[in-house]
């Protein structure tokens, strides 16, 4: 009995040591105020997005929660207002799985909001199925919807410099592969879903890089962010058998949404990181990515194809 108790104590002590020194991540220590600034956070009704929106609201920003579900977003607005003491937190409808909805959101925002200083492209999905436009969900939501949104809002960002674009990527970009003959690969099941998700996050990383190249000299900067592995409501999209495996692991070893939001917050508020525009950040510092995620020629080609798919080309 004593041996069992000692062994349990050692295991718990090791877990605490590993979690708080490695898994928990690094907090953003900047105290930068955002009073007078306007921010959009996509998917901000829960998880990483809500944690990010709450932090920006506490810094005094006007925060737009760009979310698909009004029923889920309005309680988040109320909660963020209450916790931050900032009433400049509002909901605007945005469904990234519909390019029509993205265009409607951008039109409404540009007509009603005169400023935009921060665009946090946070929303993401690993679910299977197709968007309203026939794209697989990961490509359509994680990349293409945000690609269109960013381009539609670029002029407003340029008018409100200095401004920043933060694109939530993931370490899973490492596994991403680009097949230019078929960027919109359909698929069913966990393996196909992971493949499409990894591919979409590789495109997010390349998007931040190409965006920085195109915005050079404008005082608008962009950053790709790996939030760490975070235990969020995204787990609800997994099948039952996979949940039985991943939920306990996520609960024990993944970051909380607040911990996971720290690097996105860092890239939104930290002074002096403008020279790292287009780079990939994790644990509140710039990180070197694998060669296939820093190939400018590939990034440019992904951009050009995304333009056509999103209906941005004039020719």
Cα-flanking dihedrals φ and ψ of residue 275, to 5°? -65, -15
Higher pLDDT, 228 or 137: 137
For residue 196, what pLDDT is reported? Answer: 87
Sign of CA dihedral 273, 297, 187, 173: negative
pLDDT at 147 over 50: yes
Is 19 an active-site residue? no
Higher pLDDT, 281 or 172: 281
Residue 315's pLDDT band (cuts 50, 70, 90): very low
Higher pLDDT, 251 or 142: 142
Q: Where are the beta strands (DSSP E) in 23-180?
A: 38-42, 62-67, 89-93, 118-121, 163-168
For residue 21, what pLDDT is reported? Answer: 45
Residue ranges per structural domain of the chain: 34-308
> Over the chain, what is the mean pLDDT?
88
For residue 188, what pLDDT is reported? Answer: 67
d(CA 50, CA 46): 5
For residue 14, what pLDDT is reported? Answer: 52
Name which of 287, 233, 247, 221 is nearest 51 in CA terms: 233
Residue 152's pLDDT band (cuts 50, 70, 90): very high
User: Is domain 34-308 annotated with CATH 3.40.50.300?
Assistant: no
Strongest mean pLDDT among 121-130, 191-200, 282-291: 282-291
**Rg of the Cα atoms in the chain:** 19
Distance of CA 16 to the CA centre of its chain: 28
Catalytic residue among 173, 197, 266, 280: 197
For residue 19, what pLDDT is reported? Answer: 47
């Amino acid at each position: 009995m004593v041996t069992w108790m000692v062994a349990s104590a050692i295991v718990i002590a090791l877990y605490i040591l590993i979690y708080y020194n490695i898994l928990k991540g690094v907090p953003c220590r900047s105290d930068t105020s955002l009073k007078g600034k306007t921010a959009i956070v996509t998917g901000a009704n829960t998880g990483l997005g809500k944690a990010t929106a709450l932090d920006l609201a506490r810094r005094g920003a006007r925060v737009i929660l760009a979310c698909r579900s009004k029923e889920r977003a309005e309680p988040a607005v109320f909660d963020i207002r209450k916790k931050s003491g900032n009433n400049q937190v509002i909901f605007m409808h945005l469904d990234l799985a519909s390019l029509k909805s993205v265009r409607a959101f951008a039109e409404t925002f540009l007509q009603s909001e005169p400023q935009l200083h921060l665009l946090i492209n946070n929303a993401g999905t690993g679910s299977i199925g197709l968007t309203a436009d026939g794209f697989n969900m990961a490509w359509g939501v994680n990349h293409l919807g945000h690609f269109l949104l960013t381009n539609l809002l670029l002029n407003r960002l340029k008018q409100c410099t200095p401004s920043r674009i933060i694109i939530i990527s993931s370490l899973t970009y490492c596994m991403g592969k680009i097949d230019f003959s078929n960027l919109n690969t359909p698929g069913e099941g966990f393996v196909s879903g992971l493949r499409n998700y990894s591919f979409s996050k590789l495109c997010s990383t390349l998007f931040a890089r190409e965006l920085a190249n195109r915005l050079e000299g404008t005082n608008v900067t962009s950053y790709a962010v790996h939030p760490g592995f975070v235990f969020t409501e995204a787990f609800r999209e997994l099948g039952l058998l996979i949940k039985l495996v991943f939920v306990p692991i996520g609960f024990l070893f993944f970051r909380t949404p607040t911990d996971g939001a720290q690097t996105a917050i860092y890239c939104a508020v930290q002074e002096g990181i403008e020279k790292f525009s287009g780079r990939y950040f994790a644990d509140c510092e710039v990180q070197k990515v694998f060669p296939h995620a820093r190939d400018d020629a590939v990034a440019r080609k992904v951009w050009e194809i995304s333009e056509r798919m999103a209906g941005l080309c004039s020719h």
